[in-house]
Amino acid sequence: MDVQSCISYRNFVSCMGDSRLLSKIDGYIQEHLLQISEQEEFLKLPRLKLEVMLEDNVGLPSNGKLYTKVINWVQRSIWENGDSLEDLMEEVQTLYYSADHKLLDGNLLDGQAEVYGSDDDHIQFVQKKPPRENDHKQISSSFSGSLSPSAAVQSPKHEWKIIASEKTSSNTYLCLAVLDSVLCVIFLHGRNSPQSSPTSTPRLLKSLSFELQPNNVIEKSMSPMQYARSGLGTAELNGKLIAAGGYNREECLRTVECYDPQKDIWTFIAPMRTPRARFQMAVLMGQLYVVGGSNGHSDDLSCGEMYEPEIDDWTPVPELRTNRCNAGRHQSAVCELGGHLYIIGGAESWNCLSSVERYNPENNTWTLMAPMNVARRGAGVAVHDGKLFVGGGFDGSHAVSCMEMYDPAKNEWKVMGNMTTPRSNAGITTVANTIYAVGGFDGNEFLNTVEVYNPESNEWSPYTKIYKF
């Protein structure tokens, strides 16, 4: 496979339903999108052309979040407005990106239209929401022009996802995506809003994908996950970041993604046998375990399973004696440090807690430790350099971005740098001595984005550095 043939290979593998090979092809496309975009097979794909008007002093979000908003807009256009994908591709679509970070139809500049919202505690499992995951099986089209019924055969379960995206100029973006099970190209151009600039002069946007740095260093937005996930499980396995399960507004997921920090690439590994969110996940003796959680439709789960990297497969483990979701205390952060088990924050009768308890297995006792500065539930926790780092969560009124560090030697909490995005029920974990925050819910959208913490500068960043030699 090469840049000339990868689209044809992907179409074939997609029809065959080989999800593992498909994820490897998608990884190749992510690395070579610009070269692939110049090939004949790519030019034959149907294309969606978008022009986004921006308010003054408002910039487009990072690539991953930007295209999540685009896909949500396409879904609303089809499911709520009755448009077809073919209609949307007939002409350039004008959209409007408002100061409150909503992507609206261009004719709704009064800001009355609303995007899908969701309370973090009461996820609405209703119809006409982002589609169900389907093990990445899809029928892709390879044609130009309109979408005919014979050409755009759709699988019973519709699929929506971003395969790869790239910034091609100061205000132009390119994306290869699956829209309603159809392989498509999205072109996006950002411009000043006519309300603020009568001449609609193209606006020079800050580079969101690449920024040239001295000494041949390129700063690139970290690749997003294929699926937005909240209430997911995260862990380090063999130097890679594992993100499993979670929910994405409509349903619980069973897909599992693996992030390679060196290559900045997400790939799929074998999916779990059971969809689950808000479960516990840990690595023991080189194997990955998940237990409990909820599948979004029935009672809390008691089942568990184990992932074996050598065979890339999950096998059941003995069930818990009690069904458990949000194990520990309601949406508390749970981790081990220094031979002790820490239970951090959470909620009691939906009142967010700042309290912290520590369990000593040697004498079977619990001890109250110093409380956090910010009461929260649904926070993530990671261990780094012998200390606890707790970030994000929900404070009772909104998702938060603040992070605190706990020093067990001093029994003290210290407020650290904020994440770039509020994240409730996100995955926060340490991989190769680096803290990552993955997914979550920002109070408006389910997230597929990633950011990384730098202890030296005490800052979070959605960028990764690539060194050119």
Tell me what percent of the residues of the chain surpass a pLDDT of 90: 40
Type and span of the H or E element at 24: helix 19-31
User: pLDDT at position 90, please?
Assistant: 81
Average pLDDT over residues 394-409: 94
* DSSP bridge pairs for 220: 210, 464
User: pLDDT at position 51, please?
Assistant: 85
Is a pLDDT exceeding 80 seen at residue 261? yes
Distance CA 270, CA 161 (A): 18
User: pLDDT at position 67, please?
Assistant: 78
Furthest CA-CA distance within the chain: 74
Average pLDDT over residues 311-323: 92
How many whole angstroms from its chain centre is CA 111?
Answer: 26
**6-16 helix and 19-31 helix, angle to the nearest 10 degrees:** 160
Distance CA 207, CA 204 (A): 9
User: pLDDT at position 137, please?
Assistant: 35
Distance CA 412, CA 414 (A): 7
Is the entire prediction scored with pTM above 0.85? no
User: pLDDT at position 378, please?
Assistant: 93
User: pLDDT at position 107, please?
Assistant: 59
Q: State how far the alpha carbon of 1 is from the alpha carbons of 7, 28, 147, in Å.
A: 9, 9, 27
Average pLDDT, the chain: 79
pLDDT-derived band at 412, boundaries 50, 70, 90 = very high
Average pLDDT over residues 400-404: 94
User: pLDDT at position 266, please?
Assistant: 92
Q: Which fold has domain 233-467?
A: Neuraminidase (2.120.10)
pLDDT digits (tens, 9 = 90+) for 414-449: 999 999 999 999 999 999 889 999 999 998 889 999
Higher pLDDT residue, 202 or 61?
A: 61
Cβ neighbour number for residue 397 with a 10 Å cutoff: 8
Is a pLDDT exceeding 70 seen at residue 392? yes
Give the lowest-confidence range in 167-181, 214-228, 250-264, 333-347: 214-228
Distance CA 63, CA 81 (A): 26
Cβ atoms of 125 and 297 closer than 8 Å: yes
- Reading the block at residue 170, the tokens are 């100061």
Distance CA 10, CA 26 (A): 8
Higher pLDDT residue, 72 or 80?
A: 72
User: pLDDT at position 15, please?
Assistant: 84
Is a pLDDT exceeding 50 seen at residue 373? yes
User: pLDDT at position 268, please?
Assistant: 93
Question: Could you tell me the residue ranges of all domains in the chain?
Answer: 6-208, 233-467
User: pLDDT at position 169, please?
Assistant: 65
pLDDT digits (tens, 9 = 90+) for 122-135: 333 333 333 345 44
pLDDT digits (tens, 9 = 90+) for 86-130: 888 888 888 887 777 777 776 554 433 333 333 344 333 333 333
Rg of the chain taking only CA atoms, in angstroms: 22
Most confident of 4-13, 54-63, 334-343: 334-343
User: pLDDT at position 118, please?
Assistant: 37
Is a pLDDT exceeding 90 seen at residue 371? yes
In this structure, which amino acid lies at residue 237?
L
